[in-house]
Structure 1
Amino acid sequence: MSNRKLNVFLPLLFAVVLALGMFLGHKMPGSNNGTTIFFAKPNRGPVQEVMDLIKTKYVDTLDTDSLQQEAIEGLLAHLDPHSIYIAPAQLEGINEDMEGNFEGIGIEFNITADTVNVVSVLSGGPSEAAGLQTGDKILKVNDSLVAGNSITPEGIRRILRGPAGSIVNTVILRQQEELQVPIKRGVIPLYSIDASYMVAPEVGYLKISKFSATTYDEFMQAMRELEKQGMTKLIIDLRQNPGGYLDAAVRIADELLGENKLIVYTQGKNFPRTEYKTKRPGLFEQGPLAVLTDEGSASASEILSGAIQDWDRGTIIGRRTFGKGLVQEQYDLNNGGALRLTVARYYIPSGRSIQKPYGKDHEDYDADIIERYQRGEMVNKDSIKIYDTVPYKTAKGRRVYGGGGITPDAFIPFDTTRFSPILGALYNRNTFSNFAYQYYTSHKAVFAPYEDAAVFVRDFQLNNAIVNDFKAYAKTDSITGLDHLSPREEKEIRIRLKAMLARQLYRTEGFYETLNADDPMIKKALEVLK
């Protein structure tokens, strides 16, 4: 009985569904213009089509991730030198560096003879709280043997880092005794101001190594400490600073320049002109100011030094800067990587673009620094190649130049002695650093009387016995020619060796305070500030 009713009902149901379908079809877009729409095929583009065909049809198995990375890099090679692809494996480290912190245990280490040596313990960090000391050797991390196991710096960082609050169990060797040390990971700051101290009476010194998310706060804290110590004049060291966040450079410029002054503006084809001006009374708008630059000062460093130069706020001392005036925005990709794409150019208050020329061949762009050296620009101001895009004189009548970086007001030549084969070998093999670590850990009592970096710089004498020990150590590292050093090479070794010993005691603060005691740019800055 039920089957008979179903047979009668089904034709009626089909008729209703058909009529409804016809009605909806009539109402759909395209039904009245003779076009029938079924399914829209996505427009993937030829590059994606080729990749899909290779994945599904190619005769051999391929590493398609690697293939895609090469394809992306090949595409970007036709753009400017600063539009880059960041692989997923690299992105975390880059972001940590720019954000100004990471989660880990708070040590500096080096690896010699397959042994992880604790070079420095961050003050107030997790490792100091757990009792780690400079000179300890890490044998195990959790259940992984790291000593004598061909561990790499990247490998040890990977197993030591982890979420804040988690525990990493280590086994360390201290003076032939094995100790089990559990360490509770925490948030570790990555400082961007490497040194801050009074370099002379009334003269403060700040070394900014990059412009990260924390740089402005670090700058303000350091400035207040220097003012408490009587600072009325300031040296800002931007040498070898590759740049970073624009916001950090703009906020620092706001503390140094008067109100409502243009610091920089950005503009691109699809990027309307955006101006960045000073907004509030600054902490140091009036005192004498010197800024140190060199061929490694780029991007945000050039924005800060260019604004100071254009507004006659201070004196730029050193050598012509790198010449990076392109603005990048970073876009996250689905594979965990990122695309850093150039979207605009920077222009400093005079209207100068600080970007040096680039063509299709990025090799010439990358080799620019070597070309400067060969042309003589590093040692002779008259050899500087000027790309003068905008003729400009400051309010005080100073002629300034643009189009290839910031040209300094006071030129200081590069010390070519540092390119000697002997010194080059010592730098490349980390001989200074490795010796300083070994000497310090075996002579800690010698360094105990020096309460801070200033006392160390003033009172510690690098005697001939230490220098001879260093030379003997370097010879075991296959460094030749140490018995026939020039007077300049001998002096450079003594300066660098004392600075590396200071770094063992006082980290980067001690390193720069020691190194700057004989630095020609510092001497010129002190002369200018008088």
Structure 2
Amino acid sequence: MNNIKIILPLLIGSTLALGLFLGTSLSTDVSPFNKKETASTNAQKLNDILYILDKKYVDSIDKEDLFEEAISDMLHKLDPHSNYIAARDLARLNESIQGHFGGIGVRFSIIRDTLCITNVLPNSPSERAGVLSQDQIIKIDGEVISDSTINNEKVMKALKGLENTEVEITVLRDGFLKDITITRGSIPVNSVLASYMLTDKTGYIQLQSFSEKTTEEFYKAALQLKAEKMENLIVDLRFNGGGLMSAAINICDMFLDKGLPIVSTKGKSQPDYTEYAANPPVMGNIQLAILINSSSASASEIVAGAIQDNDRGTIIGRRSFGKGLVQQDMLLKDSSNLRLTVARYFTPTGRSIQRPYSEGFEEYMMDERDRYNNGELYHLDSTLMVDSLKYTTPGGKVVYGGGGIMPDIFVPLDTTGGSFYYTQLQYGGVFNAFAFDYVKNNKESLAKYTSIYSFRNDFKVTSSLLDDFKEYAQTYYNIKAYPNEFERSTVLIKREIKANIANQIWVDNAAQLMRADTDKEVQKALEFLEK
């Protein structure tokens, strides 16, 4: 089975793993280790060991990698979120925090060993240079890129670069090759992934990270929805691994009355400090629901905790990740970075929602497995509601600390319609590839859909289209549709075909709107807000 490697490298930012790696940070300092000091006895011992390993070990080793792994392992003995970031990795991680990077401004997918442009960002360097959606990139700076050696890392390294530098691409368009020179520019890494009106009264904002640009992005999206007569808002923090604490505080400030507490921090070397809402809330009259799951972490939990503890909105979904540690960045003299836990944060009622980590780093990171095995993803786990961890909000609601934010309304993980066949389609990238080819071959018939709303209401995945999809999956990816499995997963398959086609047409994430009707958490939020 061929694999489609899908990536949105010039638009999309962090996922959970990246969010946890970035942490919830207070600030960036220059490490005191930048000062010239005599190496300690222990540091010299480590150097001696590495020297001996390099000279005497049975196999060749990479001393630099081994040294950096040793530092990471040492930090993880302290807690799971203290970390060492090598200089070569720091720039990439900072892109998600800064909210931009140098690039050309496209979304792309690697389909059958070919680099395919799915979207060209408005006002981007690529649009100005004449790049079009559905172009296939054959060469980058003269090097053939469409072959079996192509991968995401190779493409990103070739297309990204300093602003105002040039990159030349050769594209295949309508059977002809065309050379295009693009001057790289500043490309946004959007933290607001989607923003729509789901109904006449209820808006929806999907927030995928907390960066330096998040406050501005969220503010604009919320004001636009308010201008469209929004009365209720669903903020989707599922799979949001966090980022900057300051961005989380600013989001809370839009909803909480001035003077209400948002978050407190306490640490041995940090003064106790509480952040309060500083301004009259611009969204003060909007009913609010927040969606969370086990991949909502860090800054996401600050928002959910502040809203819940101040009785400002309703938390819906499943227990969040449980990261209540605050990291501070310290730049080392070789441009690498020490990300050290310096404080714990607490919700307005005084809850610490940090999960225990005494069993070690590896066990800590396997929490999702444990939740699946003990059934917590399907049933509310009452064993987590311990009296010693019970807190009461000003409105009299009981909330619990000790390991993540517990939702006010629990929604079990939805596995309806799942099958091995559907899993093969998802992990094989078949939906994305089929959508790319469908849009490429049906531009005229799709032109009548002038907005994501008209597409949602009027586009139908017909039986004929389903048959074409089944044949496509078997022909190009050797995935055979067994009748029982196909029938069991038909609703999900139709949804994903429609969602992926929508995503090929519109630059913003139209896919989530297409999934809303079958999204159990979204539907529960709508039911609650519009009752």
Partner of 1:46: 42
Aligned-partner residue type, residue 40 of structure 2: R
Partner of 2:350: 351
The 10-residue stretch of structure 1 (411-420 or 113-122) with the greater mean CA deviation from structure 2: 411-420
Q: Distance in 2 between matches of 1:382 and 1:70?
A: 36
Aligned-partner residue type, residue 499 of structure 1: A
Q: Distance in 2 between matches of 1:486 and 1:148?
A: 32
- Give the drift of 1:259: 0.9
Identity of aligned residues (%): 39
Structure 1's 414 and 66: CA in aligned 2 closer, same or farther, altered over 3 A?
same
- Give the drift of 1:421: 2.2
Q: Distance in 1 between matches of 2:53 and 2:397?
A: 66
Deviations 1:386-413 (A, max 9, x none): 4665321222221111111111111111
CA contact (8 A) 2:241 2:298 kept: yes
The 10-residue stretch of structure 1 (230-239 or 211-220) with the greater mean CA deviation from structure 2: 230-239
Q: Distance in 2 between matches of 1:54 and 1:305?
A: 46
Structure 1's 194 and 41: CA in aligned 2 closer, same or farther, altered over 3 A?
closer
Aligned-partner residue type, residue 224 of structure 1: L
Partner of 1:507: 507
Deviations 1:22-63 (A, max 9, x none): xxxxxxxxxxxxxxxxxx992423133331564489635753
- Give the drift of 1:224: 1.4
Structure 1's 434 and 382: CA in aligned 2 closer, same or farther, altered over 3 A?
same
Partner of 1:171: 170
Structure 1's 394 and 65: CA in aligned 2 closer, same or farther, altered over 3 A?
same
- Give the drift of 1:339: 1.9
CA contact (8 A) 1:453 1:509 kept: no
Q: Distance in 2 between matches of 1:83 and 1:54?
A: 23
Q: Distance in 1 between matches of 2:458 and 2:403?
A: 43
Q: Distance in 2 between matches of 1:513 and 1:405?
A: 28
Q: Distance in 2 between matches of 1:173 and 1:377?
A: 50
Q: Distance in 2 between matches of 1:315 and 1:132?
A: 44
TM-score computed with the length of structure 2 as normaliser? 0.88
Partner of 1:410: 409
Deviations 1:428-454 (A, max 9, x none): 221211211122112222211111111
Structure 1's 356 and 489: CA in aligned 2 closer, same or farther, altered over 3 A?
same
Q: Distance in 2 between matches of 1:57 and 1:430?
A: 43
The 10-residue stretch of structure 1 (196-205 or 479-488) with the greater mean CA deviation from structure 2: 479-488
Is the partner of 2:307 in helix, strand or coil? helix
RMSD across aligned C-alpha pairs, in angstroms?
2.0
Structure 1's 171 and 410: CA in aligned 2 closer, same or farther, altered over 3 A?
same
Aligned-partner residue type, residue 47 of structure 2: M
Q: Which runs of structure 2 are paired with 1:155-170 in the superposition (5 Å)?
A: 155-170=154-169
- Give the drift of 1:484: 2.1
Partner of 1:7: none
Structure 1's 387 and 296: CA in aligned 2 closer, same or farther, altered over 3 A?
farther
Partner of 1:427: 426
CA contact (8 A) 1:197 1:205 kept: yes
CA contact (8 A) 1:302 1:321 kept: yes
Partner of 1:497: 497
Q: Distance in 2 between matches of 1:58 and 1:190?
A: 41
Structure 1's 479 and 48: CA in aligned 2 closer, same or farther, altered over 3 A?
farther
1:462 aligns with 2:458: no
- Give the drift of 1:371: 1.3
Structure 1's 321 and 434: CA in aligned 2 closer, same or farther, altered over 3 A?
same
CA contact (8 A) 1:240 1:297 kept: yes
CA contact (8 A) 2:242 2:300 kept: yes
Q: Distance in 1 between matches of 2:79 and 2:488?
A: 41
Partner of 2:8: none
1:222 aligns with 2:218: no
Structure 1's 258 and 421: CA in aligned 2 closer, same or farther, altered over 3 A?
same
Q: Which runs of structure 2 are paired with 1:209-358 in the superposition (5 Å)?
A: 209-358=208-357
Segments of structure 2 that go 5 or more residues without pairing to the other structure are 1-35
Is the partner of 1:78 in helix, strand or coil? helix
Structure 1's 183 and 482: CA in aligned 2 closer, same or farther, altered over 3 A?
farther
Partner of 1:64: 63
Aligned-partner residue type, residue 469 of structure 1: D
TM-score computed with the length of structure 1 as normaliser? 0.88
Partner of 1:34: none
Is the partner of 1:77 in helix, strand or coil? helix
CA contact (8 A) 2:325 2:344 kept: yes
Structure 1's 384 and 152: CA in aligned 2 closer, same or farther, altered over 3 A?
farther
Partner of 1:379: 378
Q: Distance in 1 between matches of 2:121 and 2:482?
A: 35
Deviations 1:327-380 (A, max 9, x none): 111222233322211111110001000111111422221121121122111111
- Give the drift of 1:318: 0.9
Deviations 1:41-93 (A, max 9, x none): 92423133331564489635753211211221221231211112222232111
Aligned-partner residue type, residue 456 of structure 1: F
Q: Distance in 1 between matches of 2:383 and 2:459?
A: 40
Deviations 1:145-200 (A, max 9, x none): 21226122111111111222222111111121001111111110111001111111
Partner of 1:181: 180
CA contact (8 A) 1:172 1:178 kept: yes
